[in-house]
Amino acid sequence: MRNYRIIAGLAAQALFVTSWLALPATTSAAETEDSAQINTLLAEAKTKALDLKRDSADMESFTRSNRGWEGYASKILTIKEHINDSGKLLTKLKNTEPTGAPWQQTAIDRIEPLLRELAANTEATIDHLNNNRAAVHFPEFKNFVKANYELASDLEELIRDFVSYGESKGKFQRLQDKLEVAK
């Protein structure tokens, strides 16, 4: 009798686990549709983030030279334009977020705080440069510039990884579709 209860209990657990695993598979099919519009916007954001990273790297390289404040001012304005363009893309992404797959929604949610932090740091760098033009070779300003470069690098890497994931996921889905057609 005791063995029967153990076997019945295990069978009930197996049935529960099986039904629990099957349920997400049926509901996730509708949830996993990637938004082509979001993929396009993420690809654009990737390009902007790469431009931002390159310009931030250029500006960071200025800290190892005798460049004057004018060179920094020109580059930081270019960086600010990239951030503004990225902010416009983020607004488009946020507007289309509800139509995206869960991974796309996660991407948007992770990009937003990093871009906001980069924008705030860039504004602080601009303010510091405006108020301390003669101090561009001091450690405090160099730290602002280095932090900007690190944030731009992190943003570019994050977006690149999400775009790469989306491309790989799309390739996998196309392969699965071919196999289904071949059956």
Q: List, for residues 129-148, the tens digit of each pLDDT value.
A: 999 898 888 999 999 999 99
60-109 pLDDT tens trace: 999 999 899 999 999 999 999 999 999 999 999 999 999 999 999 999 99
pTM, 2 dp: 0.79
Q: Which residue has the tokens 């001012």?
A: 73
- What secondary structure letter does DSSP report for 137? T
Interaxial angle between packed helices 102-131 and 139-182, expressed in degrees from 0 to 180 and rounded to the nearest 10: 160
How far apart (Å, rounded) are the C-alpha atoms in residues 106 and 36?
16
Q: Which residue has the tokens 């890497």?
A: 157
Best CA proximity match to 163, nearest among 17, 29, 84, 48: 48
Residue 12: count of CB within 10 angstroms of its CB: 10
pLDDT of residue 155: 97
The three-point CA angle 146-148-150 to 5° equals: 70
